[in-house]
Amino acid sequence: MEEEAEIYDGMRAHFPLTFGKQSKSQTPLEVIHNATRRGPSKEKDLNTIKAKPDLPSLSSSSKSWLQSLRKPNPNSTPSGDEPSIEPSRPLQKSEDEDDGVMVGPPPPPAGGGSEDGDEDEDDDGVMIGPPPPPVWSTMDDSDEEENMYRIPMSNEIILKGHTKIVSALAVDHSGSRVLSGSYDYTVRMYDFQGMNSRLQSFRQLEPFEGHQVRNLSWSPTSDRFLCVTGSAQAKIYDRDGLTLGEFVKGDMYIRDLKNTKGHISGLTCGEWHPKAKETILTSSEDGSLRIWDVNDFKSQKQVIKPKLARPGRVPVTTCAWDREGKCIAGGIGDGSIQIWNLKPGWGSRPDMHVEKSHADDITALKFSSDGRILLSRSFDDSLKIWDLRQMKEALKVFDDLPNHYAQTNIVFSPDEQIFLTGTSVERESTTGGLLCFYDRTKLELVSRIGISPTCSVVQCGWHPRLNQIFATSGDKSSGGTHILYDPTLSERGALVCVARAPRKKSIDDYEAPLVIHNPHALPLFRDHPSRKRQREKILKDPIKSHKPDLPITGPGHGGRLGTSNGSLLTQYLLKQGGMIKETWMEEDPREAILKYADVASKDPKYIAPAYAQTQPEPVFQHSDSEDEEK
């Protein structure tokens, strides 16, 4: 037995301590969602849950839990299938609570019914009147005012992973996949159905090295998406992140932009057609808008040049489709808004032109679904509402909305009764990035929600099917996508992944680390070859095994000279001819040569015979030393 125990302990030492242990019971959904509560409401809900220990048992599905949180009808009697909620507190709150506000029916009179009515109530537990709503589902007046617009903001999760601010956001129409692009040149893909509570992305892309991601857009069928970066070429990916193609780049040396096959400068914005799955709209810093066909990456379908006050190239900072895809709006760098209607024979001349709509560059444009209102956001820290039937002046201007990013956008709520935008963080401001909600009918501020105390909010979205709000934020060191939801109002999306715990490791997941033994990788452990093998290898080498040549005696042969006392051929020749002696350095070189002038003329040996017939007779000057002595 002891040997078996030792063997078991030895095997057990190779596995983590968590293997083989019994799994704990599943965490209730209300505890999971309370962990993601935001603001002071989190503490309030935790206190009410502690005060209400006899909550009904909840199933594992979020749908049944959401139904149990609905406010029950006091007049309806609970059926056998639905769980009945018995209040564990008195019928009403005391007058001291909530400043005298009474919840539920008024209490019965103290002396009503019988003289000992209180005693009967205490003894028999008989309730008079309909049951009040549960205490944990009641709201204050402030909560009711905030939830009048049904804004899902009670809970929050963050999709992290980027190292810089998140500048692009796109959620597909079904609400199952989220795309986020950042200034760190990457795009991350998140899948709610396959993601657990760790909230990790399943794929990371880098469309263009060294170019920021500026915009992302899903196709109407959600099978492909468009990626717009700071480069001049937009890319198309499929749903799984595989590259389908990139649009061509134009010739930068052609002055007329209509003659180029593509953009020649960095892109600023791009959107997929809301109805046609083959059409895409892009805007660029080269001062043009282009409509593309996904089936042809080599050339665009239409080139739109905005109307300018002066000739030149002014960048187009943003673009947008209307709901039906029959109208295009563009924000021009000179502060103007230009709108084109897609009709037969239309050209670059805009149908609507609003000069100096903003004092600075326009960062986003958004049409309403009924085609009556246009929203515009700008670097001048303002948000303007325009009536498309009368575009001379804005209907309303909202100021004091700091904006430091060219991708800050505006979105409508699913019922389009509210529109929202994000704000940037200023240097001396005490508040961080905010989400500002505005009423479309009253044209007034409804609510402000703080997203991050130190980071700016760039892009936002309100998904109609999920009823969840997405907001991207970040700074120079980190970035993430905040998702606001309400368990009683939202569906799927964040509710699915938050309630899914990470899968625990089992013994089948264990893999022994592979140890690679390579003793000859380092010179220290390398076996040196024997010297005998080295000698045999050298003998086989014809160059190393060549025997040095011995010095020869005599005149020489085969191009080799005989033994000489000098190392140079010239010295050898002079010595053999008797022209060099030991005292040659002490003598005058001119006199030493003239001594042999008569011998050379009488018996020439080397050069003189070749030029004997053509060489003129040399005349040498005699020394003037004798004349000087006289």
The mean pLDDT value for 382-388 works out to 93
**Residue 227 scores a pLDDT above 70:** yes
Backbone CA torsion sign across 195, 196, 199, 202: negative
**Residue 111 scores a pLDDT above 50:** no
- Contacts of 304 by beta carbon, 8 Å cutoff, 6+ apart: 288, 289, 290, 291, 328, 330, 340, 348
The mean pLDDT value for 580-599 works out to 73
Backbone CA torsion sign across 443, 444, 447, 452: positive
Among 191-195, 482-486, 622-626, the range scoring the smallest mean pLDDT is 622-626
Cα Rg of the chain, angstroms: 45
For the record, the structure tokens of 59 come out as: 């199933």
CATH of 232-399, one of 2.130.10.10, 3.60.90.10, 1.10.10.10, 2.40.400.10: 2.130.10.10
pTM higher than the cut 0.85: no
**Residue 170 scores a pLDDT above 60:** yes
**pLDDT for the residue 628:** 56
- Contacts of 252 by beta carbon, 8 Å cutoff, 6+ apart: 264, 265
Among 147-156, 229-238, 278-287, the range scoring the smallest mean pLDDT is 147-156
**Residue 482 scores a pLDDT above 90:** yes
**Residue 520 scores a pLDDT above 90:** no
**Residue 573 scores a pLDDT above 70:** no
Q: Higher-confidence residue: 327 or 623?
A: 327
Distance CA 281, CA 294 (A): 11
Name the pLDDT band for 80 (thresholds 50, 70, 90).
Answer: very low
Distance CA 92, CA 118 (A): 15
The mean pLDDT value for 597-609 works out to 75
Facing residues of 290 across strands? 282, 303
**pLDDT for the residue 34:** 80
Q: Count Cα atoms within 13 angstroms, Cβ side, for 581.
A: 9
For the record, the structure tokens of 114 come out as: 């019988």
Name the pLDDT band for 219 (thresholds 50, 70, 90).
Answer: very high
DSSP letter for each residue of 241-275: S-EEEEPPP--TT-S-GGGSSS--S-EEEEEE-SS
How many Cβ atoms sit within 10 Å of the Cβ of residue 387? Answer: 14
**Residue 59 scores a pLDDT above 60:** no
- Of the candidates 62, 51, 58, 57, the one whose C-alpha atom is nearest the C-alpha of residue 138 is 51
**pLDDT for the residue 87:** 36
Across 217-221, 294-298, 526-530, which has the greatest mean pLDDT? 217-221
The mean pLDDT value for 177-198 works out to 92
Q: Which helix (H) or strand (E) holds 531?
A: helix 531-540
**pLDDT for the residue 514:** 83
Contacts of 20-25 with C-beta under 8 Å, sequence gap 24+, read 20/507, 23/504
The burial of 93, by beta-carbon neighbours within 10 Å (0-12 exposed, 13-18 middle, 19 or more buried), is given as: middle
Name the pLDDT band for 270 (thresholds 50, 70, 90).
Answer: very high
Name the pLDDT band for 3 (thresholds 50, 70, 90).
Answer: low
**Residue 60 scores a pLDDT above 60:** no
Backbone angles phi, psi at 10, to 5 degrees: -65, -40
How is residue 371 annotated by DSSP? S
**pLDDT for the residue 467:** 92
**Residue 49 scores a pLDDT above 70:** no
